[in-house]
A and B are shown apart, each in its own frame.
Chain A
Amino acid sequence: MKIDLQMAWRNVWRNPRRTWLTVAAIAFACLVLVFMLSFQLGSYATMIDSSVKIEAGHLQVQAKGYQDDHEMRQVVEDPAAVGRVLDGIPGVEAYTSRATAFAVISSEERTYAGQVVGIDPVREAKVSSLESLVRRGSFVSPSDPEGALVGDLLADNLKVGLGDELTVIGQGRDGSVAATVLTVRGIFSSGIDELDRTTVEMPLATFQQVFSMGGAVHQVVVTAKDLWSVPAIQRQLAAGLEGPTGVDQSPPLVVLDWNELMPGLLQSIKVDLVSGLIFYLALIFVVAFSILNTFLMAFLERTREFGVMMAIGTPPGRLGRLLLLESLALTAVGIAAGIVLGCAVTLYFQAHGIDISGANELLERFGISGRMYPKLSVLSALTGPLLVLVITGLAALYPALKIRRLRPVEAMRHV
């Protein structure tokens, strides 16, 4: 075996230029794969974080059934008790309470159906990016109980600006008519049509009073320190809410994660991942064909040599194994170089970020900064190169198998 390895290695370097070119092709493919996969996975984390920060949060505590029915009566009775449970869970960054009602929203000139959300002026800013999405005017404040934020599309439709009055009429928790007059203090723009076209945000205390909520709310919205700790937090929170020291109410409380709150988000990420994979596979196949070309050439020009070897008694199987070892050595060098270079490039950009200032305006609307950061992980570093290894191994099989059919006498005569 040792002789085979030595022979394989020497054979690889018989034609250094060709070998280096092939190694370069493999290394390049691996570099691209490592970097792009890291970039994709890194941007997903950013996308998810930015999307959940606009409204949904990483987790929410709600009454069971609220997510589907959105009934005024499906409330979280005691948000303070839920807060106490949250305070005891590491990994929770911040939380806030919200209450929502559907209502008729009327300005002097127009009337539209929309939704009114009661938000905690102090806590909301730590949980969602809403405050940073206010384009004109100011955020809601505890000292301004009748001040409200309006989505920019809704403000346009209603033809209101800062300082104008809005009449809100809806249905309270007890079914009675809930009505109030609010003053527009700020206009926000999230880029999400549904939010901008239908939402008015008001202070939670006023909402609770107008809509007869008592002290109850509809959602407790939680953000985590990072995306990966969400499942653990969900488990701990669910356990903390149940049990004798937990929060008891009817309907019972449930904990939903961002995936259940925004099902479309994960799906769109999966679609993106799949389309990325298609690109990667295409790249790998192109590289595989170029390697096949190299191996075939190497094989064909050594036909006489193989013929001689078989004539002096080398079993064809051993010759085949020799070829495979050569291709393995070649590929290994290429992959090693590719992984090292790929990691280097990725780590550089992971520290410095990639400036996508061209799309800055678009990203700003989503609250994403103009820098994207790839995230290197074991998965992203090794998946691509391993695939390359497998496929080039398969490519090398072709000449290796062909060799078994060689007839020594004819081979020796080969030009």
Chain B
Amino acid sequence: MRTESQRQDRAAGARRPGVALAAAVGIALIGLLAGAVPICGAADAPPDGNALVRAAFDHYRGKASTGTAVMTIHRPDWERTMTMDVWTEGDAQSLVRITAPAKDEGNGTLKKDQDMWLFNPKVNRVIKLPPSMMSQSWMGSDFSNNDLAKTDSLVNDYDHVVTATGSRDGHTVYTVHSTPHPGAPVVWGALELDIRDDDVLLAERFYDEDGALVKALTTSDIGPLGGRVLPATLRMQKADSPSGDKAEWTELHYTDLSFQDSLPERLFTLTNLRNPAS
């Protein structure tokens, strides 16, 4: 149950800071679900990896979106659920606010470009998260702050190559292998994505620099959502999680999603993070 950064921290002798932060879970997930770009071209040759990933990203993220999601953190002896409202705009802006349970209500995160802030209503403070904390787990889940925040990094910081073509449920599925650009500010050694021919992201696998699998995201419940065909459920599981009833995973399920052309700028400000207007 360790993120890759936690393993690195251990090796460096540091303690493992697992941090509960209200971060923008929905961002990456909304990104996954939003998207209004139809990929055209049913070429016989596999499509260009970069274009494919861009298309999948645009498909799940769209220009702007509003939605509600439920996150379930599952451990062998314990389970916890949280409900949150998510707004995204463009590639790099998102706002998440937790609405349930009552104890956590009002906590929120705002992401703008590379910066991320978190708000806690009980102490009424906005805290800017330092980059060193971006790999930490969000609210004890298997998602990291990074997972939720840096969605456009997927498109821009990697080279994508289609390595395999298969089929599933009547759709062609492309497996894309992504290697980070040299010097790119990413924590992963490599990624692998399974993208369907209608731009639906089926799975994403995260590898460290030694090529070992660290965690994997799988999507399910693919159907109409917000006017597009998208998976409603995403499950993140660490590679070293045991299987069966000792399994540990986190699941994000969209109950509601809609796409817009744009959202007001004032939504993605620190003031709004503190005092929700909408």
Contact = CB atoms under 8 A, between A and B. Distances in A.
B22 interface: yes
B149 interface: no
Interface string B114-150: 0000101011010111101100100110000000000
Task: Give chain A's interface secondary structure class.
Answer: strand
A112 interface: yes
Task: Give chain B's interface secondary structure class.
Answer: loop
Given A171-B20, A171-B139, A177-B107, A198 B125 contact: no
Interface residues of B, number: 32
Contacts of A169: 19-21, 118, 120, 123, 127
B125 A102 contact: no
Contact of B123 (A73, A102, A110, A180): A180
A167 B15 CA distance: 20
Contacts of B123: 167, 169, 179-181
A265 to B, nearest CB: 14
B157 interface: no
A115 interface: yes
Contacts of A269: none
A111 B14 contact: no
Given A104-B129, A104-B133, A177-B120, A113 B104 contact: no
Given A176-B101, A194-B13, A111 B19 contact: no
B104 A177 contact: yes
B276 interface: no
Interface in A67-83: 70, 73
Interface string B151-182: 00000000000000000000000000000000
Contact of B127 (A104, A171, A198): A104
Contacts of B73: 175
Interface string B18-34: 11111000000000000
B140 A171 contact: yes
Contact of A73 (B17, B78, B122): B78
B27 to A, nearest CB: 19
Contacts of A198: 14-15
Give the 4 A-B residue pairs with the shortest CB-CB distance, closest first. A171-B20, A113-B17, A176-B103, A102-B17
16 contacts: A70-B15, A104-B19, A106-B125, A113-B19, A115-B15, A169-B19, A169-B20, A174-B80, A175-B20, A175-B80, A176-B103, A177-B104, A179-B122, A179-B123, A181-B125, A198-B15
